[in-house]
Amino acid sequence: MEKGSLLYEGKAKKVYAAEDPELLIVSYKDDATAFNGLKRGTIEGKGVINNRMSNILMRFLAKEGIPTHFVRELGDRDTLVKRVRIIPLEVIVRTIAAGSFAKRYGVEEGIVFDSPTVEFSYKNDALGDPLLNESHALALGLASREEIETIGKLSLRINDLLKAFWLERGVTLVDFKLEFGRLPDGSVILADEISPDTCRLWDSGTGKKLDKDRFRRDLGGVEEAYREIMDRLGRTADTEQNAPADGVC
């Protein structure tokens, strides 16, 4: 499928028009940024891995009844998705203390919560994606009460599904960030990506970090970690990657 005009270029992806105006083509790059663009680099092969991993996980979630934007993988880096209006909320679900949570509340990384936390940030680079609560999101008109409720429920369900999925592959899902979008009919679906860029993934046995924290924290072995986490997805997933996403909304 031919890419149309470039509509948007973000830190890790380019978005192109597709022939069908209700669809878009997302193209994953190897560029990596952290700390709101202050740290920049390249992770060789990341675009291919994030594209494939995100598609495998979106297909898995769709089969479990989660509405997603995934339509079809077009190539190593390119995927056809439903066009949505992105809701400017970053939804972060945590099972284990790490990253900004550990820093903000002065706790050690690795503390396992009794139940998961869900938090929202205002998706706004100029402001540094500030944390906000539901009443702030309503006051700013970012989403309706119903949408926030739907997003909260879907996010917790996605956490349950992905935690179990990764555990079977010897990986602990520590936390992750989701984004949602609105279809023209107003329904809310999962959009963006699910990848080592957007999740913390630790080896269940050793605790080794298999995600973008290796880049953020200069831990070394970045490319190897991305390849290792991709290997954990296993060959069964490979055979499914190009099938259309049955059951997406």
Residues lying near ligand 5GP in the complex (CB under 6 A) are found at 90, 92, 98-101, 129, 175-177, 197-200, 212
Mark 61-89 as b/e (b = at least 16 C-beta within 10 Å): bbeeebbbbbbbbbeebbbbbbbbeebeb
- Kindly list the distances between the CA atom of residue 179 and the CA atoms of 4, 182, 194, 243, in Å, as whole numbers in the listed order: 24, 11, 9, 23
Name the minimum Å distance from CB 173 to ligand 5GP: 9
Name the minimum Å distance from CB 197 to ligand 5GP: 4
Residue 203 or 240 having the CB closest to ligand 5GP: 203
> CA-CA distance, 26 to 159, in Å (whole number)?
24
Name the minimum Å distance from CB 100 to ligand 5GP: 3
Residue 16 or 176 having the CB closest to ligand 5GP: 176
Residue 212 or 214 having the CB closest to ligand 5GP: 212
Name the minimum Å distance from CB 181 to ligand 5GP: 16
Three-class secondary structure of residue 234 per DSSP: helix
Residue 33 or 144 having the CB closest to ligand 5GP: 33
Name the minimum Å distance from CB 185 to ligand 5GP: 28
Return all residues near 219 (Cβ < 8 A) that are at least 6 apart: 209, 213
Return all residues near 248 (Cβ < 8 A) that are at least 6 apart: 62, 67, 68, 69, 70, 71, 82, 189
Residue that the structure tokens 């309503």 belong to: 138
Three-class secondary structure of residue 54 per DSSP: helix
Residue 36 or 242 having the CB closest to ligand 5GP: 36
Residue 18 or 161 having the CB closest to ligand 5GP: 161
Which residue's beta carbon is nearest to the bound ligand 5GP?
A: 99
> CA-CA distance, 108 to 13, in Å (whole number)?
33
Name the minimum Å distance from CB 118 to ligand 5GP: 12
